[in-house]
Amino acid sequence: MVRYYVSIAVLALALTAAAQSLRDLADQRGIRIGAAADPSHFTETAYAGTLSREFNQIEPENAMKFQPIHPGIGAYSFGQADSIVAFGRQHSMAVRGHTLVWHSQVPDWVTKGGYTPEQLSTILQDHINTVVTHYAGQVYAWDVVNEAFNDDGTLRSTIWSGTPGYIEQALRWAHTADPAALLFVNDFSAEGINAKSDAIYKMAQDFVTRSVPLHGIGLQMHYTTGNTNLTGVDLNIQRLTALGLQVHITELDVRLPVNSSGTATPALLATQAQIYRDVMAICLKYPLCTSIQTWGFTDRYSWIPGTFPGFGAALPFDTAYQPKPAYTSMQSSLATAPPVIASAGMLNAASYAGGAVAPGEIVVFFGPTFGPAALTVAQSDSSGNFPVELAGVRLLFDGVPARLIYARTGQISGVVPFSTAGPAVRVQYEYQGILSNAVSLPVVAAVPGIFTLDSSGAGASAILDVAYKPVTEANAARRGDAIQIFATGGGLNLSETNVTVARGRALLRMVSGLGMPISSSVPRQFRRNLR
């Protein structure tokens, strides 16, 4: 059970959070908060209004499954799914696809067609290629394979099992059809540590090792109040994200025993709220836990009562679209869970070298799980100083705030305070008054890095001639020319540092704050679905 000691700042934040939708709060943290949707309800104002106000991600509950979207040989029916994609586009919501390969909802023309395994493999490849191609650029992530494992960790025997390595094959076919899409393997009862999640983890390790196009694991999280110990979930998300994979919580709902009118007791609603809070808090601990999605969002429309008689009330909104305690706990968890940082995210802003910092070094800090959704670039004041607080963000080195250059969720750039001294410095990140965990980094005399023209940390350097034109092969510098090399990390001796260049010597002027890489490639372990 995760407990929070509420500081005044946190309490204040929790109160302001009450005025913000889940979507606003999630945007501020660069995380996706989604809901599975049924387009047949879009004409219901309250349904469409709640969905677009509270969520920045949408996923078809059924419309993209094999049977609805591919009802006959060579016959595709995209209408329902297209309306969900259109809703997402209209409301600037990310669209997540579900699901390409599943043992359920497979149409009779496939299951009763008497096909050989080879023919089924061709049918599956055609299905994946056609559907993923149709939604390329519109669906950012797919549950490519759903529920492929048994509880004991063995592979489920399905109609698709005749294709050797069908999970890997399906991922490769999907990747070919849309190389930009994030590809997931999704399952239930594999949230914590057990034989099933061990088998999924083993598969993930193998796929990552062999560069099979798997980008993440989906944890469905269909819960009851019986399993409230989420320690195993934390450990499972930790080990999956340590592989560099993303984790999506894909189908969260917490079913409750209800009376004949579908109502649950306040005590059960409170337990449900705690589970929603804890699930949110665990995901927010991991930069690569990038999406939390509920399976539906209102008790008015949920699969639970039809599947589990005597159970219901599983979602954050009640049948009248009123927020329940589960909603409020998601809100406060999004607002008060502390940001999480890792020392590996602190890199030289020019070279992306990490592992240590130098006083005065311009750094870029990847990975903090909170921050302004939109990029905020600082302006220097009349005396040329950059601010120590930017859009609610501060970066502290032994408690001393760094001057900041830009900030957005997951990527902040600033200047290591010149007062920073070794042998190590304690770094904390603060957003809206809430401090992150502290990490320690060695302090060294210098971490020199030359900025590059494309902000990639490699390739052509930011070196200008007297006419402020880049010095390149075509515009080579001549002996005796004055050139400017934009660099950082020279340490305290900032005045002028001699550097050796080919067959000559030049003066290296350490500059700060210029040419900051903003669209730089985010290291894999910190990649998040930044909008």
Residues of this chain that interact with ligand G3I (CB under 6 A) are 61-62, 65, 104-105, 146, 188, 220, 251, 303
- State in angstroms the smallest separation of the CB of 80 from ligand G3I: 9
- State in angstroms the smallest separation of the CB of 299 from ligand G3I: 13
Q: Which helix (H) or strand (E) holds 206?
A: helix 195-209
Q: Which helix (H) or strand (E) holds 346?
A: strand 346-348
DSSP 397-452: ETTEEPEEEEEETTEEEEE--TT--SSEEEEEEEETTEE---EEEEB-S---EE-B
Dist CA 135 CA 78 (whole Å): 10
Nearer to ligand G3I, 60 or 368 (CB): 60
Nearer to ligand G3I, 17 or 200 (CB): 200
Task: Name the phi and psi angles at 43, rounded to 5.
Answer: -75, -10
Q: Are 103 and 150 in contact (CB under 8 A)?
A: no
- State in angstroms the smallest separation of the CB of 53 from ligand G3I: 22
Give the closest residue to 84 by CA, choosing from 55, 105, 126, 124.
55
DSSP 244-258: T-EEEEEEEEEEEE-
Nearer to ligand G3I, 219 or 326 (CB): 219
Angle between helix axes 8-17 and 325-336 (nearest 10 degrees) is 130
- State in angstroms the smallest separation of the CB of 240 from ligand G3I: 19
- State in angstroms the smallest separation of the CB of 439 from ligand G3I: 38
């062999």: which residue's tokens? Answer: 210
Burial grade of 79 (CB within 10 A; 0-12, 13-18, 19 or more): exposed
- State in angstroms the smallest separation of the CB of 125 from ligand G3I: 22
- The catalytic residues are 147, 251
450 pairs with which residues across the strands? 487
Nearer to ligand G3I, 16 or 105 (CB): 105
Structure tokens at 110: 């496939």
Q: Are 479 and 504 in contact (CB under 8 A)?
A: yes
Nearer to ligand G3I, 78 or 188 (CB): 188
């009118």: which residue's tokens? Answer: 261
Nearer to ligand G3I, 65 or 172 (CB): 65
Distance of CA 153 to the CA centre of its chain: 27
- State in angstroms the smallest separation of the CB of 67 from ligand G3I: 8
Dist CA 395 CA 496 (whole Å): 27
Dist CA 65 CA 145 (whole Å): 11
First-to-last C-alpha distance (Å) of the chain: 32
Dist CA 255 CA 59 (whole Å): 20
Q: Are 99 and 60 in contact (CB under 8 A)?
A: no
Nearer to ligand G3I, 105 or 122 (CB): 105
- Sign of the dihedral through C-alpha 456, 398, 443, 499: positive
């997951």: which residue's tokens? Answer: 410
Nearer to ligand G3I, 88 or 414 (CB): 88
Structure tokens at 381: 């004041």
DSSP 8-state assignment for residue 197: H
Contact residues for 8 (Cβ-Cβ < 8 A; gap 6+):
none
Dist CA 218 CA 291 (whole Å): 9
Residue nearest to ligand G3I (CB): 303
Task: Name the phi and psi angles at 501, rounded to 5.
Answer: -115, 165
- State in angstroms the smallest separation of the CB of 99 from ligand G3I: 6
Nearer to ligand G3I, 37 or 393 (CB): 37
Q: Are 530 and 379 in contact (CB under 8 A)?
A: no
Nearer to ligand G3I, 306 or 423 (CB): 306
Question: In terms of residues, how long is the chain?
Answer: 531
- State in angstroms the smallest separation of the CB of 167 from ligand G3I: 16
- State in angstroms the smallest separation of the CB of 146 from ligand G3I: 6
